[in-house]
Structure 1
Amino acid sequence: MSPKRKKPAPTAGHATPAPPPLSGDPILRTVSRAAFALVMLFALLLLWRGHNAPGGGFIAGLMTVAALLLHRVATGRSALRAPPLTLIPFGVALSVLTGLVPYLLGQPFLKTAYGYVTTPLTGEFEWATALIFDIGVYLTVVGSGLSIAENLAEIRPTGRVQEDE
């Protein structure tokens, strides 16, 4: 008779996350490349036109989170080089500074400035400081959304913790 092997006790620390079960699927990987590009383009369009039409930093950030999660499911790795939590302070600082500058100049908080620029490539289009605020919101939403999603992805319902015993 061979001796029975003991199963190692689960650790309370963070385990290395296993790749998603679909990360080896060649069809998903191929389709996700095109879908990632289209969703990111749509997110940039929503971000660009957000101060004048439906859209803005919040919904563009959610679209980007969806695209980045699709990439992670398809490839098993993150498309970002840095942890998503590092985006949040930059986004919040950019949004606050955008509102603070007009206030320091004697105007209402978050007062937007705008104007028109004409280029040979695009013709005339409006610029506004509200876009800078939206970029701050965008960075905050992408950082927090990806952080939440990654933490939820690490939860293993079959895993046990010390308090369960």
Structure 2
Amino acid sequence: MIKRLFLLPLLLWLDGCASQYSISEQQVQQYLNDKVVKQIKLDSEGMKLQSGITRLDVKLGEQAERISVTAFGELKLETPLFPLYASMQTRFSATPRYQASNHSLYLDDMQIEDVLLTPEKLQLLIGPVARQMANQAKDLLQDQPIYVLDTDKPKEAKIAEMTQSIKVEPGKLTLLFK
């Protein structure tokens, strides 16, 4: 019992010496799919096209200091004869930024890497509209946080106060402290 009491201050001191905290690729992906995907519905002006994102996949550190986000979605085009359906996959890359005022991570310098439609024969028919919708998704993703530290949890509240910058590493985002 006395050994435990002696170790407690040492453990607390070592915990306070940490200079970084990591958020895993899976944590970011889960946050995006739980909080962001539901909010993204895309509209096309002038065409009867409905679309939405069904899932977002995240890869961290494949490119230096960048995040790769792949959006999977469904498109439905109403035509006079019959509706056309397609699956859409859009890959983005971006630089993460930590915003201390709301303890959130955002995407900057977001670029569309590619837009793929399945079946491929619809690429010629709705490819330009799909790219327009990919731009809408890009704008929506840039405006929303990709991860928010939960300040109701004491550990994350302390991390939120201390975070100064962010670093992208393979499989994780590392928050660096002041």
Shorter-chain TM-score tier:
0.3 to 0.5
Q: Please report the TM-score for the alignment, with normalisation by the length of structure 1.
A: 0.34
* Rg (Cα) greater in structure: 1
Q: Please report the TM-score for the alignment, with normalisation by the length of structure 2.
A: 0.32
* Greater relative contact order structure (CA < 8 Å, 6+ sep): 1
